[in-house]
Amino acid sequence: MKVDNYLPGGNIRVLELQDREVLLEEEARDCREGWFYWKFRALFEEEGLWKFRFSRCWKVGTRGPAVSTDRGKSWHWLSGEKCHESSQEFLYECRTPGEVWFSQAMPYMQENWERFANVYSENPFFHPSVLCRSRKGRNAELLEIREGNPRRAVLLTARHHCEEMSASMVMEGIGRFALSSSEDGKRFRQNFALFLVPFTDKDGVEEGDQGKGRIPRDHGRDYEGEHLYPETAAIRQRIERVRPFLVLDLHSPWLRSGRWNEEPYFVEDREKRFKPELERFCALLEQEAPECAPFSRENILRWGTEWNTPENYSAKGDSGAGKCLRQLCGAYPFVKLGASLEVPFANFGEKTVTEKEFLLFGNAVGKTILKYGEDHVL
């Protein structure tokens, strides 16, 4: 049996392979140690039960790894609906020799975005373009969805860090809602121009870099002073150009354990004028969220609590010193709400979530943006 990282977004280091046990470690590369993203392929030559163990704990999520037996076309949770107890290892029974892909969570790559784009390529309200070129020369996508010339704009971003794959699926769900033939979808795109940035750290996503804690700072803290990354600079320029009333930055939290990692939640900003707006938004989302992917209006991580403190945004923080996107939004009076939404990887409380549920949750977020924009923004 052979294990390597020769696949899109690959990230793994094999420390030892003996009998039917593999000792693994995620690659930190240019990031600080201690995060948890990994993705690899295994080439099985025979049937049998294999153990994959990481050198440290907190690497395996609540439903085990995501598994693909068709080279990434489809994925399923190894543990299905059951909770995967170990955060350090998993067992895999190979019933048919061949190639199997494993990932820390269900991947979302450029291939996924292109699949979505191809569905709507003939839609007259679908306007794809390029936000900018990444440091390594890749196109960082920008999608605008509108009908006619709406007076107001909404900007959504995702993947400031490579591992935040569930956030991308939610973004696609929002886009699908805005492009739908429903009355709500039509009203949305007639009232608002929706701008989507699916891959803020484009190089990190495609190459499988951790992204979180990149030295000296990662994409998520690159909104203060001179930008290190062309994507964040282009996002800032886009905000100043289109003047969105709502900026929503989609993220994913820590891997597992506790309310703030296994339920979707918003991160409250220190900007006081955002507080009542965020509470209104959360109350609406609670009403719209589907039963398979529930949300509570109480799921707001308040400023000054848990990790949401000034220290987290200082040089001592996990991501390096600097402002995040929602903090930047506080400097623009035309932004009525700048917010960060954290989307768990595998479960919303007791509910197991896959691509289907993430898309449905995104649909609910789209409806919430519509109602919030119509009811609460002058």
Structure confidence at residue 215 as a pLDDT band (50, 70, 90) = confident
The pLDDT, as a whole number, for residue 322 is 85
Of 179, 153, 189, 212, the closest CA to residue 359 belongs to 179
Pick the more confident residue, 343 or 315. 343
- pLDDT on residue 315: 61
- Mean pLDDT over each residue of the chain, to the nearest integer: 95
Residues 132 and 97 in one domain: no
Model pLDDT for residues 316-359, shown as the tens digit of each residue: 666 667 899 999 999 999 999 999 999 999 999 999 999 999 99
- Shared-domain flag, residues 154 and 202: yes
- Domains of the chain: total: 2
Same domain, 50 and 114: no
Out of 117-126, 303-312, 364-373, which region has the weakest mean confidence (pLDDT)? 303-312
Specify the pLDDT at position 195. Answer: 98
Helix residue ranges, H only, the chain? 110-120, 165-179, 183-191, 202-207, 230-242, 259-262, 274-288, 325-329, 355-376
Q: What is the CATH number of the domain that holds 339?
A: 3.40.630.10
Answer yes or no: do 137 and 85 share one domain: no
Of the residues 103, 119, 150, which one is the last residue of a structural domain?
103
Kindly report the CATH number assigned to the domain that includes residue 53. 2.60.40.3120
Q: Are residues 95 and 150 in the same domain?
A: no
- What tens digit of pLDDT does each residue of 261-293 get? 999 999 999 999 999 999 999 999 999 999 999
Contacts of 226 (CB under 8 A, 6+ apart): none
Kindly state whether residues 223 and 268 are assigned to the same domain.
yes
Residues 236 and 132 grouped into a single domain: yes
Residues 328 and 281 in one domain: yes
Task: Round to whole Å and give the CA distance between 291 and 312.
Answer: 33
Assess whether pLDDT exceeds 60 at residue 237.
Answer: yes
Looking at the structure, tell me whether residues 65 and 125 fall in a common domain. no
Residue 34: pLDDT band by 50, 70, 90 thresholds? confident
Domain boundary among 54, 75, 103: 103
Tell me, yes or no, whether 249 and 341 share the same domain.
Answer: yes
Same domain, 55 and 186: no
Distance (Å, whole) CA 133 – CA 249: 20
Give the domain range for residue 134. 110-376
Last residue of a domain, one of 84, 103, 122: 103
Distance from C-alpha of 326 to C-alpha of 242, rounded to nearest angstrom: 16
SS3 46: coil
The half-sphere exposure of 188 on its side-chain side, counting CA atoms within 13 A, is 28
- For residue 206, what are its two tokens? 């495609």
Q: Are residues 156 and 54 in the same domain?
A: no
